[in-house]
Each structure stands twice: as C-alpha cells, then as structure tokens.
Chain A
Amino acid sequence: TQLLEQSPQFLSIQEGENLTVYCNSSSVFSSLQWYRQEPGEGPVLLVTVVTGGEVKKLKRLTFQFGDARKDSSLHITAAQPGDTGLYLCAGGPGTYKYIFGTGTRLKVLA
C-alpha cells in the first residue's frame, strides 16, 4: 500500500517566519501535487511537479520534487496569516488513484 507521510502534522508560527513542510513515501510517483484547504472548503491545487529534482515557485511558496520522485517539500518564505490552512500533498502513480498525504495544519499568527 502506498503511503504519503507529511511532517510536521501541526505548525504554529508567527507572521514573517519561514517554514518547510515535507511529504515522504517509499513509493515512486509519476507526479505529485500540493493543495491547500481552508475549513469548510475543498482543497485548492497549488502546484503539480512531475520531474525528479524539479523546483517550482509560486510567489512566496517554493515546491521541490525529490530526485527519485519519492518525496517533496513545500517551503514558505515570510509566512502571512492568509497562508493558514491544511496543506496536502497527493501522489499519482500514473493511474486515476491519487493518494493524499496525512496533511499539515498550518496556523500563522499575526
């Protein structure tokens, strides 16, 4: 069974701080997505990474896909209260069945 473990599970930081969230698996994924979910809403796609070693930037967010395509990280620079939410990675083995990670709940305090 493929599993995606995220760390940390919970993170509470002050506005302006930097943070990194990790998504790890023992399985290889053909692609990996990162989502952010706010309470009462569906997850919103932030980025898709497909190539080992790939780095993508979205404003203050930097996403990296591991060389072996088994892990990924999300780095947020100068976090803002609007970044608060549940961050989910999701891996696709190449079929319809995307597996979601265990989630990281981020709270950014003003």
Chain B
Amino acid sequence: DTEVTQTPKHLVMGMTNKKSLKCEQHMGHRAMYWYKQKAKKPPELMFVYSYEKLSINESVPSRFSPECPNSSLLNLHLHALQPEDSALYLCASSQDGAPPAGTGYGYTFGSGTRLTVV
C-alpha cells in the first residue's frame, strides 16, 4: 500500500461547526504532515508529527487542532473557522523527517480535502 488516504474529499462547514479531517497511511512512515494550500499557491506547512509526537507547529491558530492517535492516523480538528480558512488541506507522510546524509526522502501526499467555510 503506497497511498495516503484523506477523508472527506470535500467539506462545507459553517463558522460555528466542529468537524475533523482524517488521514491514513500504511507505508510504515513515521513522519506525517498537514499542509494548507490556497488556490494557485504552493502548499504551506501547518504541522509535523514525528513518531506520533508533534514536532512542528507553524504558528497555526488554535482553531486548528491536530491529533495523531497512532503511527498510521492523523486527524485535524476544526472549530470556529473563518471563511479565509477555505483551502485544500493536504496530508503527507515520509519515511523520516530527517534524512541521513546522502539520501533524501520525499513526501507521499494524499489527494486532499477541499474545505469551504461559509
């Protein structure tokens, strides 16, 4: 299995709603990531989990709350979002966040969740 699966594919939520995005991988990757991508822009890093522990939070507002229940699963809990949070949310995984010298590990991305906040 060489995929990262994200659900749902599309999500429309109101500003007072609580919802969760889910991500799953079974490649044995120990680093998992959340990225946010606005239209016609590159992905922007939000969070990094390494060995199920949060290692990077890129100053993301607290209305986004990540969770890593186990090495295969990554969730992003959403609460009280704003319309400007509408974007494509991408999950990715990699073998390890810190490649040893002489090697390089790329990401495997999921197809993303298209989020619209109304």
Chain A positions within 8 Å of B, measured between CB atoms, are: 30-33, 35, 40-45, 48-51, 88, 90, 92, 94-98, 100-103, 105
Contacts and interface: CB of A to CB of B under 8 A. Distances in A.
Given A41-B112, A96-B48, A101-B42, A49 B106 contact: no
B56 A31 contact: no
Given A42-B92, A101-B42, A48 B110 contact: no
Given A30-B104, A40-B112, A97-B56, 13 more contacts: A33-B104, A33-B106, A35-B107, A40-B111, A42-B92, A43-B109, A48-B106, A49-B104, A92-B104, A94-B98, A96-B33, A97-B48, A100-B43
B95 to A, nearest CB: 11
B104 A43 contact: no
Contact of B108 (A45, A49, A95): A45
B103 A96 contact: no
B116 to A, nearest CB: 13
A20 B50 CA distance: 35
B55 interface: yes
Contacts of A88: 42-43
Nearest to B39: A39
A42 B99 contact: no
B114 A103 contact: no
